[in-house]
Structure 1
Amino acid sequence: MIALNAALDALFADSNIARDAVYIAEGGIPQLVRVVSRRADEVTGFGDARLWSETTRIDMRLAEVPEPRPGDRIEIEGEAFLIQGEPVRNSERLIWTVDLRPA
């Protein structure tokens, strides 16, 4: 597990992969965190139709944000987002993946 933690530290420290963000829990104080963005497009089936939508997802370390909740605010490079839906932890319980929507 020590090697995995070291790899995650390196990943989140790399300025080519991760960047600074401000996390604000609902009713809380702003906190500087590092995030890895995933701005992938998503295709969803609905009957015979296939719907395309832009998504904004980020990964955050559980060590920095222990309990993100829907409605919490994330600010990334001047853009404000709200967490929507329930955050999901990875299998090692070290990373949160959260869906965002513009605030």
Structure 2
Amino acid sequence: MTAAAMALDALFADDNVARDAVYTPEGGAPVLVRAVTRRADETTGFGDARILSETTRLDLRLAEIANPRPGDRIEIDGEAFLIQGEPVRDRERLVWTVDLRPA
């Protein structure tokens, strides 16, 4: 195991950074996973206008979820979300970042 993978495991195990989530692939069985939530506002330019929108993103470990897809469901603290758009892997191929929308 690489140093990056060990550090990542420590972050996902820390209750101050990550929390439990239930991942359900479309047509599959629910799986308990750890997730790091990021709910930042995003500014998008459109011509001369700037649009501010709330976003919900999650980081998920590749070791727990091999291939998340748009339409898969994630539930955190009783809130249900669907993955929208294509998930993106990090450079080290250890973490998926997924964009979510309310289910």
TM-score range, shorter chain: over 0.9
Q: Does 1:40 pair with 2:40? A: yes
> In the alignment, what sits opposite 2:59?
59
Q: Does 1:99 pair with 2:99? A: yes
Counting only pairs closer than 5 Å after superposition, residues 72-83 of structure 1 correspond to structure 2 as 72-83=72-83
Residue 31 of structure 1 deviates from its aligned partner by 0.1
Unaligned runs of 5+ in 2: none
Q: Which amino acid aligns with 1:33?
A: V
Q: Deviations over 1:30-82 (max 9, x none)?
A: 00000000100000000000000000000000000000000000000000000
Q: How many residues align?
A: 103
Aligned-pair RMSD on alpha carbons? 0.6
C-alpha separation between the residues in 2 aligned to 1:67 and 1:5?
18
Residue 5 of structure 1 deviates from its aligned partner by 1.1
Q: Which amino acid aligns with 1:48?
A: D
Corresponding residue SS for 1:16 = coil
Corresponding residue SS for 1:66 = coil
C-alpha separation between the residues in 2 aligned to 1:90 and 1:10?
17
> In the alignment, what sits opposite 1:10?
10
Determine what percentage of the aligned residue pairs are the same residue: 77
Q: Which amino acid aligns with 1:28?
A: G
Unaligned runs of 5+ in 1: none
Corresponding residue SS for 1:15 = coil
> In the alignment, what sits opposite 1:88?
88
